[in-house]
Structure 1
Amino acid sequence: MTALAELLAAQRRLAILQILAAIPGGVLNTAIIDRALDNAGLRTPRATVDADVTWLHGEALVTASRIGFYLMAEITQAGRDVAAGEDSREGVARPERL
């Protein structure tokens, strides 16, 4: 993976965590996450969003499960901590502080 691709992947993963952390219950399917990423200027193929959610699941930052055609992602407490910048994880960008 190139340096730019790694940077974009880390930023997408942070955005996914922040999207999940911002909604009540912290659960969305990847179709909705994909649209939210588009709105945030991170236009991404759905397969890439699915791969990022699977990667975040492997890091215990989300739990992932299939319901019919949908891949569901639910943020964990560890994911909330990374989204808020209270913890860090290799492969996930750190939120910017103002």
Structure 2
Amino acid sequence: MSMHEVLQQDRRLVMLRVLNESPAYTANESILDSSLDAYGHRISRDLVLSEMHWLQEQGLITCKDMSGTLVATITQRGSDVAEGQATHPGVKRPRP
């Protein structure tokens, strides 16, 4: 596995964990971007949006546009992956 893939899988796990711990299991692109920065993933907003769309395509989150800002809500499947109760290709498995 390449370093790029390791970082990508970790970013996705961080996003799911942030959503899983957020009030109403929801956060917007700005909160997710700031959270990724806090976890050492300094990436562009465009890449944050790309990851949000990928997670949505996988059925791990839902997204909706709220006046030009993308807002994500974790699904039950996404919550299971965030907590390590399920696995998904492309998302790092959390440590116990």
Which TM bucket (shorter chain)? over 0.9
Task: Provide, for residues 49-78 of structure 1, a one-character-per-residue CA deviation record: whole Å limited to 9, x for no partner.
Answer: 100010000000000111112011100000
Q: Give 1:17's aligned residue.
A: 16
Quote the residue 1:96 is aligned against. 95
The answer to whether structure 1 residue 42 and structure 2 residue 41 are counterparts is yes
Name the structure 1 match of 2:31.
32
5+ residue gaps in structure 1? none
Quote the Cα distance in structure 2 between the aligned partners of 1:53 and 1:82: 15
The amino acid across from 2:9 in the alignment is A
Structure 1 runs of 4+ aligned residues shifted over 2 Å read: none
For 1:61 and 1:36, the matched residues in 2 are separated by 18
TM-score norm. by structure 1 comes to 0.94
- For residues 41 and 69 of structure 1, the distance between their equivalents in structure 2, rounded to whole angstroms, comes to 26
- 1:85 deviation in Å? 0.2
Amino acid at match of 1:87: A
- Number of corresponding residues: 96
Aligned-CA RMSD value: 1.0
The CA distance in 1 between the partners of 2:73 and 2:22, in whole Å, is 10
Matched position secondary structure for 2:64:
strand
Helix, strand or coil: the match of 1:66?
A: strand
Q: 2:61 aligned with 1:62, yes or no? A: yes
Structure 2 length normalisation: TM-score?
0.95
